Structure 1
């Protein structure tokens, strides 16, 4: 006698984390949507200013330029600041994510490795001693200062047992930043003219820059971006702790040194071109992490897209709210970034990395 057939009972799908393939597809779609939004922001950026240009005419100025047309000339004059805003925002977003991953410090930003202070001290030296006044001349001084300060911080943190640990990097960065800031103050108080020149660079701005400035820093930012985007797996291993990373086959010291090179290129190049732009490197990686989760292979590209968007939108707002003048982008990013950062802290999104 055969047993009666038991109807097949479908297995209830597991609730919880969505399948990895579906989540990856969602993240890819989000990244593509973010890139499309960046294109729209760039178009708005070249259309908004003292002379308003309709978006259709702005597009014509980019695709079918007519020499002598006033609207087309206005759009073309805004291209350098828009391109620089995209590059600086993406670079600072990537640099912030790299810093937070390498140091496992949720408060890391371009100031923690002395990048801003190093760039500032050589800019001041160039202004006081050599009398430089052009943003194109600032670039090389700022870049060299950022690189030297970052190397000094890493060298100091590497002394003693354990090498450049996250805590030692943070402490060394804070000490060297304090020392360089004191030196900057000492040089500036001796010259009022130098102080007036320096403060326009220090506030952080993408206006008044030419395509020559963009072309000067773009190669360094491109190399830094490649280093950063290739560091996703390394940062994932480092986030588990040095011992676990070594167990997974990572050379911790070499990995941190390579990431430090990327940080110097990204943060140094962006600071050299636009000055110290606040809160981008600090806030953007946390927003990206809230969207993507803890995987740095996604945090890094999302940080680049969100950082570029934040700087360009801040530049647009600076031109809109202070007509016929403008607010520099460093002021607007601080105003926008601070509330977002406070909200993230209150919602406990700033877990220890």
Structure 2
């Protein structure tokens, strides 16, 4: 049987290739999910302002939230709970975004900012401030922590890019692991030789939102906002980078610039967050996995989801720490470790780590 000459050619559709309508529907579902996450975040923020060691009715909390009437309840909410909540919001966003960025840059689903020595760099800055300079206030050593994180990231990048090779993910990870070992040894030796410094350092090292006022928030906020802007500017290059170096170069991506800007963004985000509240584990590691399970590997959605889901986890853990140990409280770093580790293990047992 012959086919008419003017018959249109038959085009076979790739079975795994979504049609434009399907893509639009998928984007709409992801957008609705992101809006729902924002709604959950708003509820958690209100809970963080409401729940505390002192029992304040929600109606009173809501009233003094908008009208500072000078009462003791208003002082507690405006001077303690609101700055604590704002700091938890921005620190959570910074940790979640830096974790997603690290995993995308290194193409390693188990990567987190600590892999490049940034967390240990911040810890070393605090050790120097407390142990050698006698600085005991959070607002005093927050700058040393940030400086330590920045120096550590620069050293890792210089080591990883030395020689004839470029700063590949493998070289950066190896350099970060080596620097982490050196800094850990330095911190341990310095603290063992100075018990008073160890006593002060351990309160920062456990990771806590308590005791941080507006001063700490305003000190780190510009760095966190700059890191967020840089991270979100890399969404398209990160999607190209996920295809591999060779294909990325073929598509015109500047891999060196992408990794350098990404390293700067991770340093700003993780350095500022760690300096403000101490090391918080599993937020930057687990949240990007949850985001990829929900929306897939597209960085256009992974980064915004991580930006919203991480503050939910951090503030929710902080509220839980106040409830389970009332009238005292558990530091948020302890609660995130208890919650994050089992959840991450469950994700790994359920399936392979979410694809990058």
Interval of TM-score (by shorter of Structure 1 and Structure 2):
over 0.9
> Cα distance, 1:351 vs. partner?
4.9
1:279 aligns with 2:303: no
Q: Is the 8 A contact 1:311 1:329 kept in 2?
A: yes
Partners of 2:126 and 2:144 within 8 A in 1: yes
Q: Which residue of 1 aligns with 2:235?
A: 232
Secondary structure of the residue that 2:55 maps to in structure 1? coil
Q: CA RMSD in A?
A: 1.5
Q: Which residue of 138, 141, 152 corresponds with 1:138?
A: 141
Deviations 1:225-262 (A, max 9, x none): 01111111111111111111111101111110011110
Distance 2:220 2:87 in 1: 9
What residue number does 1:8 align with? none
Q: Which moved more, 1:108-117 or 1:72-81?
A: 72-81
Q: 2:273 aligns with which of 270, 274, 299?
A: 270
CA contact (8 A) 1:147 1:264 kept: yes
Does residue 1:87 correspond to 2:54, yes or no? no
Q: Which moved more, 1:121-130 or 1:70-79?
A: 70-79
Aligned mate of 2:25, from 8, 11, 22 = 22
- 1-structure distance, mates of 2:170, 2:133: 38
What residue ranges of structure 1 are gaps of 5+ in the alignment?
A: 1-13
State the shift of 1:72 in Å: 2.3
Q: Does 1:332 align with 2:301?
A: no
- Alignment correspondent of 2:132: 129
Structure 1 distance, partners of 2:56, 2:327, is: 15
Distance across 2 between alignment mates of 1:20 and 1:63: 42
Q: Tell me the distance in 1 between the aligned counterparts of 2:116 and 2:58.
A: 41
Structure 2 counterpart of 1:102: 105
1:196-242 deviation line (CA, Å, top 9, x unaligned): 10010011111100101000100110010011111111111111111
- TM superposition score normalised by structure 2: 0.92
1:74 aligns with 2:76: yes
Match of 1:111, SS state, is helix
Contact 2:160 2:166 in 1 (8 A): yes
Per-residue deviation, residues 31-72 of structure 1 (Å, max 9, x unmatched): 11111211111111111111122222212111122112x322
1:341 aligns with 2:344: yes
Q: In structure 1, how many angstroms separate the alpha carbons of the residues matched to 2:163 and 2:28? A: 46
Q: Structure 1 length as normaliser, TM-score?
A: 0.93
- Write out per-residue CA displacement over residues 264-315 of structure 1, whole angstroms, 9 at most, x where no aligned residue: 1000000010110010000000000100101011100100101011110010
Partners of 1:72 and 1:302 in 2: how far apart? 33
Alignment of 1:1-353 (within 5 A): 19-68=22-71, 70-76=72-78, 77-351=80-354, 353=356
Asked if the contact 1:104/1:352 (under 8 Å) is kept, the reply is: no
Q: C-alpha distance in 2, partners of 1:115/1:55?
A: 40
Deviates more, 1:248-257 or 1:158-167: 158-167
Q: Distance in 2 between matches of 1:56 and 1:117?
A: 43
* Residues 296, 355 of structure 2: 8 Å contact kept: no
Report the secondary structure of 1:112's partner residue: helix
Number of aligned residue pairs: 339
Query: 1:44 touches 1:55 (CA, 8 Å); kept in 2?
Result: no
For residues 16 and 52 of structure 1, do their structure 2 counterparts lie closer, same or farther at Cα, with a shift above 3 Å needed? farther
Q: Post-superposition shift, 1:352?
A: 5.8
Give the 3-state SS of the residue equivalent to 2:113 in structure 1: coil
Alpha-carbon distance in structure 2 between the residues aligned to 1:351 and 1:63: 42
